[in-house]
Structure 1
């Protein structure tokens, strides 16, 4: 070969560069016959099929893939300058190593590279115990994988597949990740002669209350008292339930800590050693037990499928059990019988470790066990029953409930059964996925005609409009005159408006106090915003009171009370509203109160703001200036379009609501007032739980005040 271009064997690198489908592949306008070698005419690899112009317009082409790979590699100096440590997986078909680099600024980069060098799919277990707690973030797509633990990290790879992971801090934990339930490391053995009721008698009761339950509760996600030491646990009552082969004790426990006593529902179930099937009953077990000749475990009965089926049968039969001076009633609706559920219906747990516990039966019913029990009518049951009876279709319909009536005649909701809605996920996760897709399209600088027609931001805008329409329709149902005084709408009086103003003022004062406490943790620009807010505190509080006065004459109805994108299910582009229990931290009386419908509207608008902030601040594997600008463009456009579409659709759907505003600016004042209330609530939540996220509600609060004179010179949201 050498310089002799007449020799063969390297025609692929001597033929004209294939730039386009034009003459000579766009390489030259000369007569094709005068070229040393003609362009490749192969139907698969010829210039009519493979050329730069075509590949540049295809975001999935080899050219654009290579560009992305080079861009990602340039962002991390660890690839070229970091130390190399080879890992030794037992599967020799997989190559794995880490690169680590610490820059002059002290920034530490860790990259994990894993490659399948075989032509068949492979699984590999990697010992990454040195990086426990870190989150592998896939560098090409920015998606977080489950966090690294003490056990081997399992990966599966396609033929010749590979991963580049950046090992990130725990704050990038994927939102879908659920920590496995933690069981007690060592079980105490209890001895029962025959009956489950013996758990309520000494010495078993003493062992449970003083030894087992205080430790067991600390590992439960639904237990809200982790911040205070448990001073006392008391078994409030126990009612036998189920059959002889699968005994259960329906029970509630009273937990005292930090000067407060709360009541939680914890049904006790027995499972014999030879009956243990799935891992969940073992993970939630409290103790070993010897019951006559049988040996087994005492566990949370909700983890037992037989218990779920027994509850369903109890509802179908309208069972009533005597209990502690009252009774436990299993109450079905007429819709339950239509489902045709039987003892053979499948049972599938959604998650046993949330604020409440839920399970799907027969792919048509969701049974939710209420963990934190409170006396009084529960808003989840009340709202579901009312909206179902009114024929509002965009909710999970009520199918039944289990209610305990205590000695004082007060109802306590224990379980609620609702229709199962097969869905594409909640609107928060769905929105995040679409924003990721929009960001990838923006960074690719190339979209096909079909992708332009069905682009992610367009879908988000359409869904925001649909959500606004459905919320307006629900408010129309709740605003209708009713013989039920708990649902009959009211008009906001000046006294009501003044009381609301005082409540919002108190929340904003608390938020400003927390911002001052955390001001030193913010960047200089955000510190300036906080200083401005504190400097003009009196003007802000006066503004809130003026807004509250203008809301007089507005309608007061029952509302969702805690509406955000996580409380909405996406089903074929439609929006379904769920979880009507209100803000869990508030007492039932407040959660059942009547409010302005703009309380729900403001909750959704603030949720849009959080979704945009997640796009701008979290999906940050690519830290180039170009990528940061793209994230901001996508986030800002989404926020603007979603807000406008949502508010426009809501106003159309709720146009006939019976507001009688005394001030012509009453509607805008209500929207601003409840937006400020929600932003203040978010400041308090982030300050107490996620201080790193304080800038999001801070900018939201400031943006809502941008029309006020002291803040008109600085940008808000």
Structure 2
């Protein structure tokens, strides 16, 4: 475009309030005639629609944060409705967008500038690709404007077992339906679910522990839990059963999660995961508001709400939006003000997610999702089993992991570019990352300050690290490092020569490493032990208007509840964030499908090295400033440093085990982190310098 001003590509910025585009141009490359004609055309198109100037505005939430998407809707005095979809790529590189437009299923997007019809909207995400700074204005038209070239996809019918009911949903728990579900449908269905933890082990048996009718009489649901026996262990999973009539096949998700076909008199439908049904979600909200209690063979189901829930404007018209169909738990947003999370794997005991949310909300700590309510099964043994938790929804810019990746990508592009336009010089991606790291350190320190405050609640009362505690930490961390070294040895031949050398170096000094861990643990005596997040990383932080909010307090899911509820050094959380910085840098450094020339790789290395240095320094400095009043009473001068190193080693060892079992190609990241943390150890330091080892 610089060589030929007539072919200038103008990067437009969408204005959601007024529906027009402001155009950034470089003065020396302007073609006044083409710019004027382009502006006239935009104004003419805009004047054709009253929705731009007078219509309501509703922002959409594409997962790609470089995409701005919203709808404008206007109903005129004559009752005619005008609906416009606007999508803009605010990035200087091409982007893809996946938009949840299922609310407009059957409508046809007609591009306003050219008048061309796009494929009709269905229940699945609507896919678009946009050029750098590209945009679309669509009128959502009726189905009669379907493009002539469109071919409707063939509808595949899943091969489901058919269950026959006379009338009631409870008949699913009676023979022969129960046997079919337990022996055929559920054993085939469960391994396909992401939240099911026993995918690698054959299922021995499935038993429906209980089922109780719940919800609207017109749309009954069975609240239920399953006992799954696999590999000699019995685990509990929550699965509410819902019925989807043939006339209700308007949403893709319930059909995707169906597990059996059902026939009830003349009615035909599917048995599906009820959490995918909007009427079930609304019934749960009403039950929370009413304080409903249901009785089952396995105890009472108690719906409880906090005072915060009553302040939310929720009703039968509140939008229900699913965050993800398949995660370790299932979550949905209601009315853009509440997040309802269904706990899939159920464990007896106080759940740290509920306990921490309740404590921090009551203490007034602002940078979390406030607790709104919960559903608990109080079993016959007197123990609580958390089944659902409702928390405040935080309208956000994405989690800190994705936000960091986006900024690192931008910083690398700027580094690779020959020059940056004047319009973009004001934005410093690495500076933004360092500022956010400092903010995250401050917010974490403030939370630890709340958790370290004096209280009569023994579950949250701060304690001092004793010699017994240090011995337990030394044993636990030592065992995790031992296992990590075994896994590294097992995968050593799959690594590159440089990383193979690091593994050999670590294995050669196992005894020295063990002694080092013992010394580190001993030096932590006198430090505070408090309740902590327990599994903190950038993915557990939301970016909300530039601020950092901490979420997901359930701890490491692989650990039992009593361990997740245990008191720990606050440096467990600090080390988790620092290790996450390392992963973010490694992801940016090893991104696939981009220029990997020597010059480009050198530029990436410069950016990621600077990011790590600045983010780590900013985070730790801000954290220590925020926690300067914490009553640590270290018995050794280097207690603070020892605690940070010890729990960073623990985290790196955990990462080695995870990567070895799930993503062996990522082993170099925790391997290099583990080696770097041990570089202060004399034998390893000498080896790294090429000196002799003891």
Flag whether TM exceeds 0.5 (same fold): yes
Determine which of 670, 675, 680 is the counterpart of 1:702.
675
Determine which of 629, 652, 656 is the counterpart of 1:683.
656
Greater shift in the superposed pair: 226-235 or 451-460:
451-460
**1:320 equivalenced with 2:299 (yes/no):** no
Contact 2:213 2:222 (C-alpha < 8 Å) held by counterparts? yes
Alignment of 1:312-711 (within 5 A): 312-448=285-421, 451-619=424-592, 621-711=594-684
Following TM superposition, by how much is the alpha carbon of 1:325 offset from its aligned partner in structure 2, in angstroms?
A: 4.5
For the structure 1 residues 649 and 121, does the alpha-carbon distance in structure 2 shift closer, same or farther, using more than 3 Å as the test? farther
Distance 2:127 2:398 in 1: 26
Contact 2:210 2:298 (C-alpha < 8 Å) held by counterparts? no
Distance 1:183 1:471 in 2: 50
Alignment of 1:107-506 (within 5 A): 156=129, 185-448=158-421, 451-506=424-479
Following TM superposition, by how much is the alpha carbon of 1:381 offset from its aligned partner in structure 2, in angstroms?
A: 0.2
Q: What does residue 35 of structure 1 align with? A: none
SS in 2 for 1:321: strand
Following TM superposition, by how much is the alpha carbon of 1:481 offset from its aligned partner in structure 2, in angstroms?
A: 1.1
Contact 1:239 1:251 (C-alpha < 8 Å) held by counterparts? yes
For the structure 1 residues 460 and 223, does the alpha-carbon distance in structure 2 shift closer, same or farther, using more than 3 Å as the test? same
Greater shift in the superposed pair: 472-481 or 189-198:
189-198
Contact 2:505 2:687 (C-alpha < 8 Å) held by counterparts? no
Distance 2:272 2:628 in 1: 52
Distance 2:278 2:319 in 1: 9
Greater shift in the superposed pair: 341-350 or 467-476:
341-350
Gaps of 5+ in 1: 1-11, 14-46, 52-118, 126-150, 162-181
Per-residue CA distance 1:166-206 (angstroms, 9 max, x = gap) = xxxxxxxxxxxxxxxx9993111111112211111110000
Count of aligned positions? 560
Following TM superposition, by how much is the alpha carbon of 1:340 offset from its aligned partner in structure 2, in angstroms?
A: 2.3
Following TM superposition, by how much is the alpha carbon of 1:120 offset from its aligned partner in structure 2, in angstroms?
A: 5.3
SS in 2 for 1:249: strand
Q: What does residue 28 of structure 2 align with? A: 49
Following TM superposition, by how much is the alpha carbon of 1:615 offset from its aligned partner in structure 2, in angstroms?
A: 1.0
SS in 1 for 2:211: strand
Following TM superposition, by how much is the alpha carbon of 1:447 offset from its aligned partner in structure 2, in angstroms?
A: 2.3
Contact 1:183 1:284 (C-alpha < 8 Å) held by counterparts? no
For the structure 1 residues 421 and 160, does the alpha-carbon distance in structure 2 shift closer, same or farther, using more than 3 Å as the test? closer
TM-score, normalised with respect to structure 1: 0.75
Distance 1:607 1:503 in 2: 22
TM-score, normalised with respect to structure 2: 0.78
Following TM superposition, by how much is the alpha carbon of 1:701 offset from its aligned partner in structure 2, in angstroms?
A: 0.2
SS in 1 for 2:318: coil
Greater shift in the superposed pair: 504-513 or 707-716:
707-716
SS in 1 for 2:194: coil
Following TM superposition, by how much is the alpha carbon of 1:540 offset from its aligned partner in structure 2, in angstroms?
A: 0.4
Contact 1:124 1:155 (C-alpha < 8 Å) held by counterparts? no
Distance 1:635 1:468 in 2: 19
Higher alpha-carbon Rg:
1
Greater shift in the superposed pair: 187-196 or 514-523:
187-196
Distance 1:626 1:122 in 2: 43
Q: What does residue 46 of structure 2 align with? A: none
